[in-house]
């Protein structure tokens, strides 16, 4: 599924520039809040995620002007279920890359381990770019449902490479095998 969301936030690049990382920083790692008392899913007996949730981007992805740190949605502050107080938004990647409730950001020399890479590496790779040509082992990815939908509207549409942002981000992956590096 997909939807167009009016996020309120600022460029991650602006924050990174304020911290002036050295040239050794090739990746940015994000960690989410771990608070089972207010986030019941984190204490579920059958959770398969090793909390806290972790995500990462290459530095050039993090510096892209489309990469945001969101503090609001639909003109309001972020509610907890949408990742309050701050979340990452990377619109050309699958949603799980847009980590919620960020409490720590680190610059890394090596590619950081991410929650989905640890949990199900056969399903999504580190990059997790929206790519209709990479089949998922459990469902189709070449078509998506655009939300919101109504009972009388057909909202199945072809999935676009990079979620329709190819003009803005394809150069980040020039020369890469986007099937192998999914």
Residue-wise pLDDT tens digits, 3-13: 889 999 999 99
- Average pLDDT (42-49) is 78
Confidence of residue 140 (pLDDT cuts 50, 70, 90): confident
What's the rounded Cα separation, in Å, for the pair 62 and 30? 11
Indicate whether 48 pLDDT > 80: yes
What pTM value is reported for the model? 0.91
Q: Is residue 180 in a domain?
A: no
Q: Is residue 132 in a domain?
A: yes
Q: Is residue 179 in a domain?
A: no
Q: Is residue 178 in a domain?
A: no
Q: Is residue 182 in a domain?
A: no
The whole domain housing 78 covers 2-173
Q: What is the pLDDT of residue 182?
A: 82
Q: Is residue 151 in a domain?
A: yes
Q: What is the pLDDT of residues 72-130, one digit of tens each?
A: 999 999 999 999 999 999 999 999 999 999 999 999 999 999 999 999 888 888 999 99
Q: Is residue 25 in a domain?
A: yes
Indicate whether 154 pLDDT > 80: no
In angstroms, the Cα distances linking 25 to 21, 60, 69, 109 are 6, 10, 19, 5
Average pLDDT taken over every residue of the chain? 92
Total domains in the chain come to 1
CATH number of residue 123's parent domain: 3.90.420.10
């Amino acid at each position: 599924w997909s939807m167009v969301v009016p996020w309120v936030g600022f460029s991650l690049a602006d924050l990174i520039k304020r911290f002036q990382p050295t040239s050794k920083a090739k990746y940015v790692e994000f960690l989410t809040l771990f608070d089972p008392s207010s986030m019941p899913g984190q204490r579920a007996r059958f959770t398969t995620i090793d909390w806290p949730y972790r995500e990462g981007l290459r530095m050039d992805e993090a510096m892209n002007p489309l990469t945001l740190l969101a503090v609001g949605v639909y003109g309001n502050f972020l509610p907890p279920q949408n990742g309050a107080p701050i979340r990452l938004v990377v619109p050309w990647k699958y949603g799980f890359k847009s980590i919620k409730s960020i409490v720590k950001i680190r610059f890394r020399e090596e590619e950081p381990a991410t929650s989905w890479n640890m949990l199900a590496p056969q399903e999504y790779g580190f990059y997790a770019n929206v790519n209709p040509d990479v089949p998922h082992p459990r469902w189709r990815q070449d078509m998506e449902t655009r939300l919101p939908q109504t009972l009388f509207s057909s909202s199945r549409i072809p999935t676009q490479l990079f979620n329709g942002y190819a003009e803005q981000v394809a150069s980040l992956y020039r020369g890469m095998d986007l099937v192998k590096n999914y």
